[in-house]
Structure 1
Amino acid sequence: MTTSPPEPGLHEGEFHGGDLDAARRRFPNAPAPWIDLSTGINPHAYPVPDLDTSLWGRLPQASDERALAEAACKRYGAARPDMLVAAPGTQTLIQLLPRLLPQGDVAVLSPTYSEHARAWRREGHTVREVSDLDEIGTAKALVIVNPNNPTGRVLPVERLRALAADLEARDGVLVVDEAFIDAMEGSASLVPQLPPSAIVLRSFGKMYGLPGLRLGFAVARPEIAARLRDNLGPWAVPVPALQVGAAALNDDAWLQRTRVTLEESGDRLERLLKGCGCEIVGRTPLFCLIAHDDAGTLALALGEAGLYVRQFPEHPRWLRFGLPGEEAAWGRLEKVLRPQGQ
């Protein structure tokens, strides 16, 4: 069977993972419930505490916002809470950042999450999607996703700090999107020793399995953080998100247990994918990117079985798999993949 490109709405060109409406249209006879492996979101969500229903009836207070900033400051290792900017999702910050800088030359280390390049182009910047750091040239802004989505590439902190120093020397800025870093042990984050020219983005929903909460953060030197907050305006994050976010970020035990669970699940997924003839291109604890000579056919078989994975029209041999959660989801995935290796 020949490989055909995915239909609009099933890939990230103008669309993204998580578009189950498009998947249902394409595979109307697929069994329910759909298992969404396209987004790289932790399937073991943080247990949302019981919330007083009165929270929905009031605006955020300074004390609510301060509690979240302090929790995020501690969790991410920022030097001080006024370096933290909370927003209704990291995507909001991705779209906001290009509006704060003069139009200029921007390099985006690619392939990566396409919204970064799109957001800078939308605001009139000249964007170059480069495949190697040697191609940065004289860019005044450099965008790096670390660990990278979808390849899982991780640049060491020392390399990022050197890049930040080079950009600072020409009044430039380094933007590092650390959306998937919470699942990793160790000191891969740039936040604890943040260079003056760097802005780091952190996602809450991916690691904590609560994307519907719409919560994300920027970490930057205080004057840049203040500009971001001014542009977001008052009451950017609702009270329930502030309270759930603070509770989750303060829960050290849950984070450590979940990191172990994700690492074990990632190893299981890698073994399963290798067993059906997939080449592992890269991975993080939250997703695995594979190459397969007949990736289109494999994605079709998965879709017909109600399993949604991420396709890449510009890389037709690639598929990205997030982690199944319950054993029933693993069973449905294994049922499709096992025959592929026979």
Structure 2
Amino acid sequence: MTNTTAVTVQSKRDHGGGLDAAVARFGGTRAAWLDLSTGINPTPYPVGNCPAQDWTALPDQAAHQQLLAAARRFWNVPADAEILPAPGASVLIAMIPTLRAPATVRITAPTYNEHHAAFAAHGWQVSDHSPSQARVLVHPNNPDGRLWTAQDATAPLSVIDESFCDVTPEHSLIHLAAEPGRIVLKSFGKFWGLAGLRLGFAIARPDTIADMQTRLGPWSVSGPALRIGAQALQDMDWAAATRSRLQQDSDRLDALALARGAQLVGGTSLFRLYRVEDAQAWQDRLARHHIWSRIFPYSQTYLRLGLPPADGWERLEAAL
């Protein structure tokens, strides 16, 4: 498959999830299924209870500043860069193409397809060839875990999506956020396992953040998200223990899959990408055991699996 074909296929915007359709086809109840089609931590950060005022009052500036301070420390944000929290990284992805006049953006496939869709929706020409006026780097890449370098982020507008980088912070390109035209994205849904909280961050130079803030408007992040986000970002012990556990679990998943004939392509410690003889057959076989996996329209052999919860390993092993 050529790069051009691969990029075109990305516009279909296939995603993990879709569990309702799987339940309708294979039976059972949604609660009884294991959804391994996403890269979300199956052991989420313990959120506790939020005060009633977080739900009933407009988010205040003090809570906003606490979140920003925690984010700056956790991600070691450069002093010359600012941080913009938003209701999910997807909101920021949809906004970024509006920051510049439409031109050509380079997006190397396969990768997370919301970037392609966002740029195309605003009139950009999407290509996998240089030169271009913009570049998108999903770092590490979804679904194969590819890592990029600073030398790859040389376009006038370079978007570095680090939604999965919290499992390997040593590879972060956060230092580039202080450079003109560089935007680093962070997602709270993956590593912390709180996708429903809808919290994401853009990190860039102050002029870029000010432009994005104007587009986003006030009170974009809910009171509960401000409180939970600040609390989780300050919990360094939880983060360290979680990275260790995720690595152990991803190694365990590799051992199960490879013993049954799969070949490891790549991934992160939150999801693994395998090459199998017939990905659709593997997905159907797992689905008959009420385990949902991820396959891709551009490949007949790629199968992606997220990590099961602690009580799901025996079910997965039996299904495999």
- TM-score under structure 2 length normalisation: 0.93
Q: Deviations 1:195-216 (Å, cap 9, x if unpaired)?
A: 3221010011100001000000
Mean CA deviation greater in 188-197 or 82-91:
188-197
**Superposed structure 1 runs of 4+ greater than 4 Å apart:** 29-32
Residue 230 of structure 1 is matched in structure 2 by: 214
Offset, 1:110: 1.3
Offset, 1:308: 0.7
Distance 1:81 1:261, change over 3 A: farther
Match status 1:120 vs 2:119: yes
Match status 1:334 vs 2:317: yes
Q: Deviations 1:285-342 (Å, cap 9, x if unpaired)?
A: 1000001012211110111111111110111101100001123x111110011xxxxx
Distance 1:154 1:14, change over 3 A: closer
Q: Report if the CA contact (8 A) 2:80-2:205 is conserved.
A: no
Which whole-Å CA distance do the structure 2 matches of 1:248 and 1:300 have between them? 37
Residue 300 of structure 1 is matched in structure 2 by: 284
Residue 61 of structure 1 is matched in structure 2 by: 60
Distance 1:114 1:65, change over 3 A: same
Which whole-Å CA distance do the structure 2 matches of 1:31 and 1:121 have between them? 34
Match status 1:191 vs 2:174: yes
Which whole-Å CA distance do the structure 2 matches of 1:201 and 1:185 have between them? 13
Offset, 1:25: 1.6
1:321 to 298, 305, 308: 305
Offset, 1:94: 0.5
Q: Which residue identity lines up with residue 292 of structure 1 in the other structure?
A: V
Q: Which residue identity lines up with residue 336 of structure 1 in the other structure?
A: A
- CA-atom RMSD in angstroms: 1.7
Which whole-Å CA distance do the structure 1 matches of 2:20 and 2:80 have between them? 39
Distance 1:245 1:317, change over 3 A: same
Which whole-Å CA distance do the structure 2 matches of 1:139 and 1:32 have between them? 46
Mean CA deviation greater in 80-89 or 199-208:
80-89
Which 5+ residue runs of structure 2 have no aligned equivalent?
1-9
Q: Which residue identity lines up with residue 58 of structure 1 in the other structure?
A: A
Offset, 1:36: 0.7
Distance 1:227 1:32, change over 3 A: closer
Which 5+ residue runs of structure 1 have no aligned equivalent?
1-10, 338-342
Q: Report if the CA contact (8 A) 1:151-1:281 is conserved.
A: yes
SS at match of 1:207: coil
Match status 1:290 vs 2:289: no
Distance 1:326 1:163, change over 3 A: closer
Q: Which residue identity lines up with residue 333 of structure 1 in the other structure?
A: L
Match status 1:44 vs 2:71: no
SS at match of 1:75: helix
Distance 1:279 1:30, change over 3 A: farther
- The aligned length equals 310
Q: Deviations 1:101-134 (Å, cap 9, x if unpaired)?
A: 1010111121100111011000011111x2xxxx
Which whole-Å CA distance do the structure 1 matches of 2:237 and 2:187 have between them? 19
Q: Report if the CA contact (8 A) 1:30-1:303 is conserved.
A: no
Residue 106 of structure 2 is matched in structure 1 by: 107
1:1-342 equivalences in 2 (<5 Å): 13-29=12-28, 33-80=32-79, 83-128=82-127, 130=128, 135=129, 137-155=130-148, 159-160=149-150, 162-164=151-153, 166-167=154-155, 172-186=156-170, 188-194=171-177, 195-327=179-311, 329-337=312-320
SS at match of 1:42: coil
Distance 1:219 1:303, change over 3 A: same
Which whole-Å CA distance do the structure 1 matches of 2:16 and 2:250 have between them? 19
Identity percentage over the alignment?
41
Q: Deviations 1:12-48 (Å, cap 9, x if unpaired)?
A: 9344212211111221247851111111000110000
Offset, 1:50: 2.0
